[in-house]
């Protein structure tokens, strides 16, 4: 926070606010700010050419450790619509919006989605070899359910329509076309996972980002709880996860695009399992990567899971 205050001097803010357009004008595109890459892609699908989109946390980047830049506050101050996931996913966002003095409505895309409560009250992340607890009583990773992605898209269309009435028929048409793609995607995922032997549908990941995927498609995900590659307690924690991996006969261990693979490599070697590649959890890949859109991300994750689980 101190850093943000330093970066966003009150002088800059005042200058921004006098030049910012208070609302959407006919001759300019709808200015949309999305918090991270996955919802940025959904916004693009609904908004097409009518919006000017700025996504704050880019490809392969972790929203948890994101450090906002002055340009982000500038974009928020000028925004007509702000899109966030909510459920405490974007810890940096509230303060940044406040600092920007943005007057734009904030649309929480998980509103109306089927949300999973987290019985553990949150999940662990691994940053520089250390376990960090992210307290989220409701699991924020709701986009890993295609049914929830449909809710996100509906909320985006509503937000765009409210801010740009002339464009509403276009937004609704785009949203309906994309919704059909999501219906197809959900069917593809179901077919691919259903073809796997039931007893092999157990995977290990670095952080607990796939509970919605587990609920909707029936792959069990195990994740380390508080294991740190540096801490003294780590050996015991790893041992308990290894026991769980053996009990549940996990088929493969996966790394993630947003976090370093040291911990899962250690787990894989201790459990005698191979690393099954990287899953895209909390961010898309860059444009040249295999998961540059939401649809590609979900397909790539399923392909990676199926190939590793089906390997022997």
- We find the least distance from the C-beta atom of residue 216 to Zn ion, in angstroms, to be 17
The site that binds Zn ion (CB under 5 A) totals a number of residues, namely: 3
**Quick check: 209 binds Zn ion (CB under 5 A)?**
yes
Report yes or no: 230 and 220 within 8 Å, Cβ to Cβ. Answer: no
Asked if 42 and 284 count as a contact pair (C-beta separation under 8 A), the reply is no
* H/E segment holding residue 125: strand 122-127
Q: For Zn ion, which residue of 29, 50, 134, 299 counts as binding (CB under 5 A)?
A: 134
Residue with tokens 């053996």: 246
Judged by CB under 5 A, the stretch of 80-88, 132-140, 218-226, 268-276 that binds Zn ion is 132-140
The reply on whether position 181 binds Zn ion by CB under 5 A is no
Under rule CB under 5 A, residue 282 binds Zn ion: yes
The answer to the question of residue 82 lying near Zn ion (CB under 5 A) is no
Closest approach of Zn ion to the CB of residue 45, in Å: 22
For residue 109, the minimal CB distance to Zn ion (Å) is: 15
Find the residue with minimal CB distance to Zn ion: 134
Instruction: Decide: is 118 part of the binding site for Zn ion (CB under 5 A).
Output: no
Least Cβ distance, residue 61 to Zn ion (angstroms) = 12
Residues that bind Zn ion (CB under 5 A): 134, 209, 282
């Amino acid at each position: 926070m101190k850093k943000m205050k330093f970066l966003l001097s009150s002088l800059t803010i005042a200058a921004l606010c006098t030049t910012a357009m208070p609302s959407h004008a006919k001759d300019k595109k709808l200015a949309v700010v999305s918090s991270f890459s996955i919802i940025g892609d959904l916004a693009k699908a609904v908004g097409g050419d009518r919006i000017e989109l700025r996504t704050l946390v880019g490809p392969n980047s972790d929203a948890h450790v994101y450090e906002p830049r002055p340009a982000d506050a500038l974009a928020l101050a000028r925004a007509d619509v702000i899109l966030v996931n909510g459920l405490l996913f974007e810890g940096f966002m509230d303060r940044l919006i406040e600092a920007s003095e943005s007057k734009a409505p904030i649309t929480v895309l998980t509103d109306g989605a089927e949300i999973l409560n987290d019985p553990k009250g949150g999940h662990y992340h691994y940053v520089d070899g250390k376990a960090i607890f992210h307290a989220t009583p409701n699991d924020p990773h709701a986009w890993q359910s295609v049914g929830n992605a449909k809710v996100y898209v509906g909320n985006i269309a509503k937000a765009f329509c409210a801010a740009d009435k002339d464009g509403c028929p276009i937004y609704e048409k785009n949203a309906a076309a994309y919704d059909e793609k999501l219906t197809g995607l959900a069917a593809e995922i179901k077919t691919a996972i259903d073809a796997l032997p039931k007893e092999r549908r157990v995977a290990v990941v670095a952080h607990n980002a796939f509970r919605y995927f587990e609920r909707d498609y029936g792959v069990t995900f195990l994740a380390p709880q508080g294991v740190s590659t540096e801490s003294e307690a780590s050996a015991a924690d790893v041992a308990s996860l290894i026991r769980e991996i053996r009990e549940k006969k996990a088929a493969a261990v996966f790394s993630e695009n947003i976090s370093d693979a040291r911990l899962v490599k250690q787990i894989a070697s201790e459990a005698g399992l191979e690393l099954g590649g990287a899953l895209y959890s909390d961010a898309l890949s860059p444009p040249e990567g295999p998961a540059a859109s939401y649809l590609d991300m979900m397909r790539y994750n399923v392909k990676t899971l199926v190939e590793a689980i089906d390997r022997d």
